[in-house]
Amino acid sequence: MCLLAIMNRVVADAPLVVGANREESYARGGEPPRILDGPTRILCGTDPQAGGTWFGVNQHGVLAAITNRLKSALPTQPRSRGMLVRDLLACASAADALNLACRELSSNRYAGCNVVIADIHRVEVVQAGDWLRVRPLTPGIHVVTNHDVNSASDPRTRHAIDWLERHSFRTADECLLALAELCGRTEPPPICLRGDDRGTVSSTLLALAPTLLRGRFLHAQGPPDRTPFADLSHLLRQLAPGKPLPIDH
């Protein structure tokens, strides 16, 4: 299961700061983030098997990310959930992406998942297991794995929230430093997972500011406990150079 740590309106200079650990088979680790051109330009990593993504942001400042979730009755030939994320990142606003996610996930074409859809104004999680539920997130710290948002039954979720809440944050850079440390933690319950054939294969950090020019995008192309984060903020700026994010959707 993947893990998403979300800091919603915790600091003034970046209304949204997110840390994401991708957990997958080592043979399917994923290609590093790059800009995908199209009617809407996207910055994301790419799954080598299905071509989708697990975490990305587009030129309009819309973020979409996904984790797995249990579902009792699976479709016979489920569509790639990563391709759904690609579809959401083609949307011009978080509101449009949320509507599309709800339509698609109501169609029983997908295995279970949690989908995070956000911009600097709103953060919502679509919980799509045996039933569909949309959870708007209040300002503060939230964690999503393969359970409900902030699930008290998940030791990793509890640990991540407790660990982050013990810190105080004044700037986006302080948030990013804390998330980088959190994503690489291997002490029980581990945030960075190690297994024989699968575990945490990469980690991505994003700070969305009122303009993409002031945002930050960091990525570790490997387990974050032993892989340095590279600063790819120049790719974020290349999405829409000098263009402010929309004030309202």
CATH code of residue 34:
3.60.60.10
Question: Residue 248 falls within a domain, yes or no?
Answer: no
- The total domain count for the chain is 1
- Residue ranges making up the domain that contains 165: 3-239
Question: Residue 80 falls within a domain, yes or no?
Answer: yes
Question: Residue 247 falls within a domain, yes or no?
Answer: no
pLDDT by residue for the chain (249 residues), tens only, comes to 699 999 999 999 999 999 999 999 998 889 999 999 999 999 999 998 889 999 999 999 999 999 999 999 999 999 999 999 999 999 999 999 999 999 999 999 999 999 999 999 999 999 999 999 999 999 999 999 999 999 999 999 999 999 999 999 999 999 999 999 999 999 999 999 999 999 999 999 999 999 999 999 999 999 999 999 999 999 999 997 555 555 444
Question: Residue 249 falls within a domain, yes or no?
Answer: no
Tell whether pTM > 0.85. yes
Q: Cα–Cα distance between 66 and 54 in angstroms, integer?
A: 5
